[in-house]
Structure 1
Amino acid sequence: MKSGTPNNTPTPRTIGILLHSERPQIDITMPLYTLYYPPGAFTQWEKPAIAKRITDVHSSVTGAGAFFVKVIFVPVPAGDIFSGGKLDDQLVRITGVIRAGRDTEARQKILRGVWEGMQEFLGERKCEMHLEEMLGENVIAENGKFMPESGTDEEKRWNGNGGPM
């Protein structure tokens, strides 16, 4: 979904996290999983399967509706990935932005589940992951409506109806 005016400048109605790149700006809310990968790491046929696995893991661990989960694939040009100051064109980096307040067990289940789900697609490549937490009820909106507080009846209605009502 594009954000802002026809020339993609944000408007006051723009809600969400704007991703700035050479591509048009888009609104993204969390949970958001971003995969940074070297050229040729994943095929166009593998990407939907990876996105589904990540979505399934997040939803099964947190109880959040699948419609909340966003997955973005960001190709990184050859020669632009470094580890410890050395070129590392075999690294896949996954960053997950999730709602704050999940306990350690839930966060580790997400990481473990995503890791296990990625093994089929990684081949010889290395994979590093981390989660960042955001206060969903304070800063993130879904389709212009603020997300309900975690664990509330309103959140349960959203999950049961596939999104905000």
Structure 2
Amino acid sequence: MMTNNIIDKAGFEPLMMTIIIINGLEEGTKLMPLWNIFHPPGAFTREEKQQLSADITELYKPLPKFYVGVVFQEIAADSFFVGGRGAVSNFVRIWVDHIARTMPNAEYRKRFMDKCNAVFTPFMNTRGLDWELHIDETAFDLWSLNGLAPPLPNTDEEARWRDANRPLPPIAG
């Protein structure tokens, strides 16, 4: 299990990310960061999906865990085309949306990508899977949870959400 988080001695702030796992999400569930993992049928066992999800969530400490979503979506070989060719049976595409945090510079982005690759490389290589990963960053002000604007990063209000592991209405004051 990956235990390193993205806060390091240089003091970089954590990021938020979600992995999309289609099976098991309730309709209307909103996740961020959101990881979408498109893969051939049978590429991962239920236990491996659970472990990958836990490892991905660990990348985002100390964010509230409920910020991180992972969706694994099986794509039939005859519905997955790469380079104009169909019947792709060994390719995994990972698409990540970051919302709660953004990466401040190229050094930070490289370090975070290295951590992401460290999570996935063992899973992919032992299965002979080819894979691609990319991360999009969404503007913080284009995000809400249950109709609430999320608290600003590293605030007491964000700590309150993290402790509750869910969005909370603001404290009247």
What TM-score, normalized by structure 2, do the two folds share? 0.70
Matched, 1:142 2:145: yes
SS at match of 1:74: strand
Give the root-mean-square deviation of aligned CA atoms. 2.5
SS for the counterpart of 2:95 is strand
The residue identity in structure 1 corresponding to 2:128 is E
What corresponds to 2:137 in structure 1?
133
Total equivalences in the alignment: 141
Q: Distance in 2 between matches of 1:107 and 1:153?
A: 27
Show the counterpart of 1:70: 69
Which residue type is aligned with residue 151 of structure 2?
Answer: P
- Matched-pair identity in %: 28
Counterpart of 1:94 in structure 2: which amino acid? I
| Alignment-derived partner of residue 110 in structure 2 | 108
Structure 2: which 5+ residue stretches go unaligned?
1-19, 169-173
Alignment partner, residue 85 of structure 1:
84
Q: Which runs of 5+ in 1 are unaligned?
A: 1-18
Distance 1:47 1:101, change over 3 A: closer
Cα distance change, pair 65–25 in 1 and its aligned pair in 2 (3 A): closer
Indicate the SS of the match to 2:131: strand
Correspondence list, 1:10-159, <5 A:
25-57=27-59, 59-60=60-61, 63-87=62-86, 88-99=88-99, 101-104=102-105, 105-122=107-124, 123-136=127-140, 138-159=141-162
**What TM-score do you get using the length of structure 1 for normalisation?**
0.73
CA distance in 1, matches of 2:108, 2:163: 21
Higher strand proportion: 1
